[in-house]
Amino acid sequence: MAGRHPFDFRRDVERLAELVGDVPTHLVGHSYGGLLVLQLALLRPGSVRSIAAYEPVTFGILGDDEGDALARAEIARLPHYVPDERGVDEAWLAGFVEWWQGAGTWARLAPETQQGFRDVGWKLSQEVASLSADHTDRATYATITAPTLLLGGSATQPVELHVLRRLAAALPNATLTVFPGLGHMGPLTHGAQVNAAIAAHLTAAS
């Protein structure tokens, strides 16, 4: 089926590097976008002035200790994407959304939102597979020296909170802010609150 080619998140990192160029830039990302900006900081440190990332999916930072192993086991619960004749794995998409947002979330999404997920389902599944297999460790992330604001919500997927705390401990110039009651989609559900924190960070780093 057309479009079902293997994909690795590093291709998006390379494209982002092309867009940013050599000019030191403030980078802001959410979830997968947060992973991309942190990976860009590793690839092109001179192009990064500051970073603000809400719940970046930097699962590679998980090591081998008990807490990290439990987190990796939880991440591995999501099965492989098996498209039907339409090129869609509806069960996978529902499982992905509900892994982040809780049981029943998929059914509550607007039809156009569900269709949006179907349209990008294959690439989304490939992103998840490649970042889940990533092993960018704490020592590597520790080389990022740009001022970094890490953000998250207390009501998010517990694995992501674990990852955030690991990342905050690794980055030498990171500040971690966890908003009470917010979930993984905090930048959409509570945009004013999240954006105010990011704006303050960008002002301080300018």
Reported confidence tier of residue 59, pLDDT bands at 50, 70, 90: very high
* Total residue count of the chain as it appears in this document: 206
Which tens digit of pLDDT belongs to each residue from 88-139? 999 999 999 999 999 999 999 999 999 999 999 999 999 999 999 999 999 9
pLDDT given for residue 64 in this prediction? 83
Reported confidence tier of residue 67, pLDDT bands at 50, 70, 90: confident
Assigned token pair, 36 = 């991309």
pTM: predicted TM-score of the whole model, two decimal places: 0.93
pLDDT given for residue 2 in this prediction? 42
Which tens digit of pLDDT belongs to each residue from 173-205? 999 999 999 999 999 999 999 999 999 999 999
Architecture per CATH, domain 9-205, reads as 3-Layer(aba) Sandwich (3.40)
Nearest partner of 43 among 176, 133, 143, 177, judged by Cα: 143
Domain locations in the chain?
9-205
Angle at 16 between CA 12 and CA 18, to 5 degrees: 120
Look-up of token digits 């999501």:
78
